[in-house]
Amino acid sequence: MQTLSHSGFSRRASSNITSFVLVGAAHAVLIYGLLVVLDIVPAPGPIPHTDVRVLDNSKPAPTPPPPEPKWAKPTTPTPREPFIPIDKGTPGNPTIPNGSGLAPPVPPVITAASGLSATHTIPGYPPLDRRLGHEGTVRLTLSIDGSGAVSGATVERSSGYEGLDAAAVAWVKAHWRYKAATRDGIPISTTVEADVTFRLTQG
């Protein structure tokens, strides 16, 4: 009679268990395949993909507002002063520029004629007018030339008597003298008015 050792018995037992497991697994696969063919159990499908999302409960940081555009401050152009030509004029009489851009002419210096009192005597009384008692004042317009002489006399307002008017005109033209008027120092002709009065009380 053969006697098995303890180690040999263990090897045989382990071999038998492995064979039993493999045979059982093969039968299980065959049975599962038959069930799948008969559509009793669903065929194994792909493992569904699970989308895992991480929820962030933190509030997003506020978006800062866009910076305000910095507009360039409009600049007002400095007005340019208009060019004004200056006429220096004659020595001693400079011109002054005006708003039109042209220098105005220098106004002339004019002096009026003035009477020489020593020559302004009273005319003699016409004899006829004295006898008739005529009196009155004659206003004359006199033309004075560059030498100061009376070159002409016209009656501006009558005395009312032709004899007195005529006597006044003749006397003034013959005896009266003036200092002539001047323009910038140069003698010129001009006109003046003068009154000649006749009174019976005159000598």
Looking at the chain, the whole-number percentage of residues with pLDDT higher than 90 is 46
- pLDDT band at 137, cuts 50/70/90? very high
Residue 151, SS3 per DSSP: strand
pLDDT over 80 at 181, yes or no:
yes
CA distance 151 to 174: 9
| pLDDT confidence of residue 202 | 78
pLDDT over 80 at 19, yes or no:
no
Measured CA distances, 57 to 54, 61, 64 (Å): 10, 12, 21
CA distance 194 to 157: 10
Measured CA distances, 115 to 133, 157, 167, 187, 189 (Å): 30, 20, 20, 15, 14
Mean pLDDT of 119-125: 93
Residue 123 near residue 203, CB atoms below 8 Å: no
| pLDDT confidence of residue 46 | 56
CA distance 163 to 140: 14
- pLDDT band at 99, cuts 50/70/90? low
- pLDDT band at 176, cuts 50/70/90? very high
- pLDDT band at 15, cuts 50/70/90? low
CA distance 168 to 71: 89
Through-space distance between the first and last CA atoms of the chain, rounded to whole angstroms: 216
CA distance 111 to 93: 17
Looking at the chain, the whole-number percentage of residues with pLDDT higher than 70 is 56
State the CB neighbour count (10 A cutoff) for residue 39: 8
Residue 31, SS3 per DSSP: helix
Q: Which structure tokens are listed for 117?
A: 């009192």
